[in-house]
Amino acid sequence: MQCSFLEAVLRNHPAVPSQIPLPTLTMSSLASSAPATNPSMSTTPATPAAPIFDKGLGNTIAATTQMSFIDGGKGVLEYVGIDIDSLARYSTYEETVFLLWNTKLPDAAQLRALSSALQSEYEIPDAIYDMIRSFPTTAVPMHALRTLVSALGLHDVEADADGIEASKRKALRLVAKTPTLIANFDRHRSGKAFVRPNPSFDIATNFLWMLNGEKPTAAMARGLDVCLILHADHGLNASTFAARVTIATLSDLYSAMTTAVGTLKGPLHGGANEEVMIMLDEIGSMEKVEAFVQDKLERKELIMGFGHRVYKAYDPRATYLKTFAKQIATDTGNLKLFEMSQKIEEIVIAAKADKGIFPNVDFYSATTYHCLGIKTDLFTCMFAMSRMSGWCGHCIEQLEDNRLIRPQAKYTGPHGAAYVELSKR
């Protein structure tokens, strides 16, 4: 019988009290839902369907998942059937991780068990701290994170262990350790001493503790927790697809996560929230907002934080985040920043709503992260810290019903070309 997710994870975590009952849970098994083979059916191979050209794969369904559902036209995002707004308002990141990995909400004992297992894996090897010290202080944070995620595999005895159960244990380590990598790289480049993780804190509190060297207020920790929930998963986006392509080759989970981080780094995917903050800094004051935005609109230039490849309605992740951003901006003395953002939204919606252009999650997450004291060039790392749970969950779904992902390319070059000797060219 296949061992449950938490059984697999907790087996190697003696710090978790043995009296906590282990829930009988498994990751969603896609293979189990496949129809039984009919012995009377012909075994003659079917004629392959003619391939179609779908540039960008926007109209191609390449995988199945039970983790998240998106209806871009209606502005819907659900994690395992639960709308994202409810999760942002009432859940925690740890509970959301459990939901994504087990396709159900945990009871109190199950949530304690997962939280304890994560906390016991916060720390990173001393060799990784030494590696961070060797990095140039001018390094781009996403370059550093990509390298460090890969390096974690050097120190995991299960790095190349086959099987779903080993991948589940590695998934927990990656989610737990990524905040430690990001926070301590930032401290290194700022000339500050490392701060070791505190295993009594939840993930959001622990990250801000390591980043700033002091325990955050409850409101600040909750602000980060909300952002982590909102970014945890989002269907078969570019980085998730890249991770599934890698794991489908039966490579290891560290390689798949390195692929995902590298993909997320691209400005067309994960870098938008950084660009939003850069835009707000460039505008500078409320008096300059309208002229700046109108000039962008007249020039038909992109306004960062608006529009989405999938959503043609208001991004459901931005709905509650907008409300929360206002509160955290008020609490931290950054209300002007929020008011500028709100004014930009009003102008853009008036001009572009009929074309399906609305704020996306990056627009108000930029204000939130800034109010939490997180540097602008760390914003995409924050995205990766959250999405690590979704990436890992998708990879395990892929392994449960794996097939190598191998699309075709449409050849547009010549045929029958003659080879010409070098001396005659």
Q: What is the DSSP string of 209-222?
A: HHHHSSPPPHHHHH
DSSP 163: S
117-268+389-399 and 272-371, same CATH topology: no
CATH number given to 117-268+389-399: 1.10.580.10
Based on the residue annotation, tell me whether 362 is a catalytic residue of this protein. Answer: yes
Q: Where are the domains of the chain?
A: 117-268+389-399, 272-371
User: What tens-digit pLDDT sequence spans the chain (425 residues)?
Assistant: 345 555 555 555 544 433 333 333 344 433 334 444 444 444 556 677 788 888 888 888 889 999 999 999 999 999 999 999 999 999 999 999 999 999 999 999 999 999 999 999 999 999 999 999 999 999 999 999 999 999 999 999 999 998 899 999 999 999 999 999 999 999 999 999 999 999 999 999 999 999 999 999 999 999 999 999 999 999 999 999 999 999 999 999 999 999 999 999 988 888 888 889 999 999 999 999 999 999 999 999 989 889 888 888 898 999 889 998 999 999 999 999 999 999 999 999 999 998 999 998 889 999 999 999 999 999 999 999 999 999 999 999 999 999 999 999 999 999 999 999 999 99
* Topology (CATH) of 272-371: Cytochrome p450-Terp; domain 2 (1.10.230)
End-to-end CA distance of the chain: 66
Helix 164-189 vs helix 126-134: crossing angle, to nearest 10: 40
Q: In Å, what is the CA distance from 422 to each residue of 77, 82, 124, 416, 425?
A: 58, 64, 55, 18, 5
Nearest to 203 by CA among 186, 233, 180: 180
CA angle at 14 for the pair 258 and 390, rounded to the nearest 5°: 30
Alpha-carbon torsion 51, 52, 55, 61, what sign? Answer: negative
Q: Are 142 and 239 in contact (CB under 8 A)?
A: no
The pLDDT tens digits of the residues spanning 117-173 come to 999 999 999 999 999 999 999 999 999 999 999 999 999 999 999 889 999 999 999
Q: How far apart are CA 425 and CA 419, in angstroms?
A: 10
Which of 234, 362, 370, 394 is labelled catalytic? 362
Structure tokens at 355: 């074309």
Based on the residue annotation, tell me whether 308 is a catalytic residue of this protein. Answer: yes
Q: SS3 of 82, please?
A: strand
CA angle at 43 for the pair 41 and 46, rounded to the nearest 5°: 100
Which of 234, 308, 370, 394 is labelled catalytic? 308
Structure tokens at 197: 């993780």
Nearest to 285 by CA among 205, 340, 203: 340
Q: Are 363 and 321 in contact (CB under 8 A)?
A: no
Q: Are 25 and 4 in contact (CB under 8 A)?
A: yes
Residue 83's beta-bridge partner residues? 78
Q: Are 83 and 316 in contact (CB under 8 A)?
A: yes
